[in-house]
Structure 1
Amino acid sequence: MKTAFRAKPPRYPGSWDEFPAGDNIKRAVETVCNDYAQRIFGYHFVKVGNLSAQIQLLESPIHHQINHTPDFTSSERVKHEKRGSDPNDGAGNEPNTIRNEPRNENFVIGQAHKLPFSENSVDGLLLANELDFAQDPHEILREVDRVITQDGHVIISGFNPLSLAGVAKYLPVKRDNILHDARFFSSYRIKDWLHLLGFEVIEQRQIMFSTLFFQQRWEGAAKVQHYLSSYLPWCSAVYVILAKKRVVPMTAIRPKRAIKPQFSTMGASARTTSQKQKGHV
């Protein structure tokens, strides 16, 4: 399997606002993720990364949601968006620190490739374009596999390299745009990694048909989006995958042939009868 490790880590986005069409991407991903989240049940749901933490899963039946971000600056930004209040800039910056918040939410500070959770303890995870900006996405998926429960679910969104956005990434346009640093892993590659870890892909949706480098401000954009989603779904700029962890139970191996008993009751009864007949003679 081809390695996905990159010696130089890509720039990591702190918010969806860093993308030209970030608000549109966030709304589209959030709609699909809320639909998927309705199927995930349990006690704990973890949103890994800055972009994932800003996705609000209001339709999820799991009320205890944990926002796992790399620093306190990102967590304060998320709280500011959700509460509509000024962030507390005086917070510290210690790794793997849990801070209780209202609405049964927690903010955990740590790295995505070292999740501070016990094995088989998380029922659902969200990786909103987290792998696109990871230095080694394999490490993150191995951590997801470690902490997820049996029959747990993971939601992964990513940028599609077979799209207009994937082509624009290699063009000399807006070189300061953070999209040029995105990895753009194909959905086939992500699903292959998931299969190797024992996940089953339940569903995949293709969304956002644009270059993502510019805002769509013309009236016919919605019609074009609908046409492409119907006839050319493979060229969407963003995909969202829902996968479920599968654990195969151990079963006893039955022998192919039945073992014949060495003791024969018929032989014993016949021998006893013949001995009695000789005694009467």
Structure 2
Amino acid sequence: MSPDLHGSSWGALPGGQQLRHDLELSLAYWWPRIFGYHLLQLGPLSADFDSSKCAVKHQFSIYPECGASLRGEYCQLPVKSASIDAVAMHLLLESEQDPYRILREVDRVLVSGGYLIISGINPFSSAYLGKLLPKYQQRWPWNGNFFMPARVRDWLGLLGYQLVHDERLCYHAFMSDWDFPLLLRQWQHHWLPGTGAVYLLVARKLEAPLTPLTNRQRKRVSGWQPAATAGYSGRMKRE
């Protein structure tokens, strides 16, 4: 894991403080609806996030750098299985080589019915321009991988999650010399809502109940019964 792939603070991204504010406003609806004992904040950006309105009181962070509540790798969380009620991860998947592996590890520690909050860069937006300009290609977050929200939703579906919220935020290019006028961003938000620079997904872990099958006994019929055949059981017409 390369440190230069990760953003250590919202201020490292042009418009990042406004993005954090927009995310906090959107999540203000969900925090009182998430209950449990433990909220895990993955990554420094998730740790530097106002989740004080969350009903879960014990909140702690995990990431490899100093400053985390627990230092650890995202693919090997130092947490026992099925012990976390909610996980928040902001702008994290873009910086990882195997994002699906992280989601599987998060799925391991989440309890059934737990919530997973993910935000990431939407490649179908003006934020993708940084990947085309040499000036920004080696900077965070453009030096990482941008995943379509539909792909992230597919990963969550494979893991058995129910998507309860899907939103686009922040119509911003995140480049100081490519900042679009406010009127243009408002027009984009009104007419092209799917092109927001950041996607926000809230999903809930579901598990199908294991219903024991009843012991079905074959009904015995008195009298002679023909034996079942593997082939065609109809009448044959002889020549």
- TM-score interval, smaller chain: 0.7 to 0.9
Alignment equivalent of 2:82, drawn from 112, 117, 120: 120
Counterpart AA for 1:211: A
- Kindly indicate whether residue 1 of structure 2 is the aligned counterpart of residue 39 of structure 1: no
Deviations 1:2-41 (A, max 9, x none): xxxxx98861221112112221222122222333222211
Structure-1 separation of matches of 2:136 and 2:52: 35
The amino acid that maps onto 1:229 is: H
Aligned partner letter, 1:20: P
Q: Is 1:247 equivalent to 2:194 in the alignment?
A: no
TM-score (norm 2): 0.83
The structure 2 residue matched to 1:152, chosen from 104, 108, 114, is 114
TM-align CA RMSD: 2.5
Residues 52-63 of structure 1: matches in 2 within 5 Å? 52-63=46-57
Structure 1: distance between partners of 2:10 and 2:117: 18
1:138 aligns with 2:93: no
Residue pair 1:41, 1:123 contacting (<8 A) in 2 also: yes
Are 2:196 and 1:236 equivalent residues in the alignment?
A: yes
> What percentage of residue pairs aligned between the two structures are identical?
30
Q: In the alignment, is the contact (CA less than 8 A) between 1:132 and 1:159 conserved in 2?
A: yes
Q: Is 1:198 paired with 2:160?
A: yes
Aligned length: 222
The separation in 1 between residues aligned to 2:121 and 2:9, in whole angstroms, is 16
1:186 aligned onto 2:148: yes
Q: 1:259 to 1:184 in 2, by over 3 A?
A: same
Q: TM-score, normalised by structure 1?
A: 0.71
Aligned counterpart, 2:62: 68
Alignment pair present for 1:14 and 2:5: no
Q: Distance between the aligned counterparts of 1:175 and 1:149, measured in 2? A: 38
Q: What amino acid sits opposite 1:37 in the alignment?
A: W
Gaps of 5+ in 1: 1-6, 76-106, 264-281
Segments of structure 2 that go 5 or more residues without pairing to the other structure are 223-239
* Post-superposition CA distance 1:57-112 (Å, at most 9, x none): 0210111101112122x44xxxxxxxxxxxxxxxxxxxxxxxxxxxxxxx111111
Deviation at 1:227, TM superposition (A): 3.1
Q: How far apart are the structure 1 equivalents of 2:215 and 2:192? A: 52
Larger Rg: 1
Q: Is residue 2:17 matched to residue 1:23?
A: yes
The structure-2 alpha-carbon separation of the partners of 1:206 and 1:251, relative to structure 1 and needing over 3 Å to count, comes to same
State how far apart, in whole Å, the 1-side matches of 2:169 and 2:17 are.
14
Q: Residues 42 and 61 of structure 2 are in contact (CA less than 8 Å); yes or no, is this contact kept in structure 1?
A: yes
Partner Cα separation in structure 2 for residue 34 and residue 110 of structure 1 = 28
